[in-house]
Structure 1
C-alpha cells in the first residue's frame, strides 16, 4: 500500500510512524498489509505525511507483483543480504557452541571443536564481507559487466 512506500521513503520504522501518527504499531501493520484504514487513521497518517486523505486512499497501481525503482530494489537486496548474514551468524554461534559443549563433555583433553569453528568461521567472514559490501569484488557492477560481456554488448 502507499502508506508503506511513504514510510520507507521517509526512512521511518513502523514504530516511528506509529509514534508520529498516534496509531498503534498493529494498526500500521494491518494498513500496510492492505486492510482499509478508518477515517481517523487516514487523517492521522495524512497529517504525518503532509498529504491529503484522497491521495492516501488511492488504489496502488501495482498489485502483489509490486515493482520497485532500481534504487529501492538495490536497498531491498542489501537488506536481505544483511539479514541472511545475521541468520547465518546465529546458526554458526549455536552450532559451534553445541560442538564445544559436546567436545568438553566427551574429551576435554583435546579441543577438536576449534577446527569446525575455524573452517566455518572463514565462511562467515566471507559472507559478512559480501553482505556489508566491504570489498564487493563480485557485486552488481561486476555481474552487469559479465552479463554484457557474455551477451556480446559493449558497455
Structure 2
C-alpha cells in the first residue's frame, strides 16, 4: 500500500492535473479554430478539392493521443495507478521469491 499524500503533495498533484487538462482544452480550441480557417481556405480559396481533410486527420490524431495521455494515462489516473500498483506487487513478489 502507498503512503497517504501530504497536503502539499495533494496541492502539487492537483495543480499538475489541472494544468494538463487546461493544456488539452487549449489544444482543442486551437484545433477547431485553425481547422475552420483551413477548411475555409480549402473550400473557398485554394483549389477546388477538399484537401483540408489531411491536416484535420493528422492533427486530430495528435489531439486524440494528447487526450489519452491527459485523461486516461495521466499522472494519478485510475488506469495508471492500477498498473503501477500491479507492477509494484509483482516486483515485491519477485524480490521475496529471490530472498527465499
> Shorter-chain-normalised TM-score: which range?
0.5 to 0.7
Q: CA RMSD in A?
A: 2.3
- Structure 1: tracts of 5 or more residues without a match: 1-67, 146-155
Please say if residues 42 and 48 of structure 2, whose CA atoms lie closer than 8 Å, have aligned partners that are also in contact. no
Q: Can you list the C-alpha shifts for 1:85-143, whole angstroms capped at 9, x where unaligned? A: 000110010000000000011256310000000000011001111121x1x1x7477xx
Q: Which has the higher contact order (CA 8 A, sep 6+)?
A: 2
* Length-normalised TM-score, structure 1: 0.42
Q: Is 1:127 equivalent to 2:66 in the alignment?
A: yes
Which 4+ runs in 1 deviate beyond 4 A?
138-141
TM-score, length of structure 2 as denominator length: 0.63
Structure having the higher Rg: 1
The answer for unaligned runs of 5 or more in structure 2 is: 1-6, 85-100
Aligned length: 73
